[in-house]
A = this chain, B = another copy of it.
Amino acid sequence: MNIKLVSTLLATTLAMPALADRLSTEPVQPIEPAVITEPEKVELGKKLFFDPRLSRSGFISCNSCHNLSMGGSDNLPTSIGHNWQEGPINSPTVLNSNLNVAQFWDGRAATLQEQAAGPIANPMEMASNHVLALDVLRSIPQYRAEFASIYGDEDITLERVTDAIAVFEETLVTPNSRFDLWLKGDDSALTQQELAGYNTFKEIGCTACHNGPGLGGTSFQRMGIVQPYITDNPSEGRVAVTGNDADRFSFKVPTLRNVELTYPYFHDGAYWKLEEAVDLMAKLQLGRELALEDIDNMTAFLKTLTGEQPSFTIPLLPPSNNDTPQPVPFEK
């Protein structure tokens, strides 16, 4: 490195003390853009994510409940499954879900790949099964050709299907939110109100759980630490995975990224207003009664976490043919 370059770098660094400070000292880190190393697999995964033939009815795809036009969620308290069954729990956003320590509210899937297999065969959700769903895909020459091109042979296995879906989902990150621009040193990216909201967010202790690049997703916490959370939702959370009584009503801390888009809130989807969610979290988790001004400021801050949404062309699904098992939308 020559002297001139070094001195330029030094001058740049000295001119931006905020940049180095924030990235090293703030409890939140920016979302990094996706680095796509397997574009063909991403395209296949996108098709599978949008393909309702993975459901028994032929009507429900991954995108039905993790709608990429709507923050990767369905914006319903709990989801609509096969035969309009009422789902047991709020569909978490798929956006930035690669940052989660585990998948599902109770963390029962260790990876995105493992998660992707669940809803396909869940009788409350897509209500297919892994034999039928694979038979559908295997009957379609264009799918066989894509799997062969990516995986070396035409075999369409659950492992490959969920791998492709997971690799697509890893691209669903939302960088360059206004908050991230501020984190990276752009002082003009946030208003005074938003900054005040962020400071309160830190001061009262929200960042104990909502930290890291996802502002959440990295730990399981009891819902209702100081006061119990009142709900008619029967979910008991993490205990279903660990069998440990101490994990009853413990859920994965949801990401706050794009929280403006992922209403309604909490595992039961009972709260539609971000202000109410902020107020309640402060009360139940931290024992704090917030002033209205603080709630408004924190809500304003939370809306700066909306990042650039994934942008891509809609997939064109290869058609079924005479060999494809037919969907069963209505049970006779």
A residues sitting closer than 8 Å to B (CB atoms) are 50-53, 57-59, 64, 67-71, 74-77, 80, 83-84, 86, 260-261, 263, 272-273, 275, 309, 311-317, 319-320, 322, 326-327, 329-330
CB distance from A259 to the nearest CB of B (A): 10
Identify 5 new A-B residue pairs, CB closer than 8 A, beyond the known A58-B76, A86-B330, A263-B320. A69-B317, A84-B84, A263-B319, A311-B314, A311-B316
Contact in complex: B75, A320 (CB < 8 Å): yes
**In the complex, which of the residues B272, B309, B311 contacts A322, with contact meaning CB atoms closer than 8 Å?**
B272
CB distance from A272 to the nearest CB of B (A): 6
Copy tally for this chain in the complex stands at 2
CB distance from A87 to the nearest CB of B (A): 9
Considering the complex, give the chain B residue whose CB is closest to the CB of A272: B326
CB distance from A184 to the nearest CB of B (A): 23
Contact in complex: A273, B322 (CB < 8 Å): yes
Inter-chain CA distance A70–B51, complex, in Å, is 9
Considering the complex, give the chain B residue whose CB is closest to the CB of A330: B86
CB contacts (< 8 Å) of A329 on chain B: these are 76-77, 80, 86
Inter-chain CA distance A326–B75, complex, in Å, is 10
Inter-chain CA distance A50–B70, complex, in Å, is 10
Contact in complex: A311, B309 (CB < 8 Å): no
CB distance from A91 to the nearest CB of B (A): 11
| A-B CB contact pairs (8 Å), 22 listed | A50-B69, A52-B67, A52-B70, A53-B75, A58-B74, A58-B75, A58-B76, A59-B64, A59-B76, A69-B315, A70-B317, A75-B320, A77-B329, A83-B84, A261-B319, A275-B322, A309-B316, A311-B314, A311-B316, A312-B314, A313-B314, A314-B314
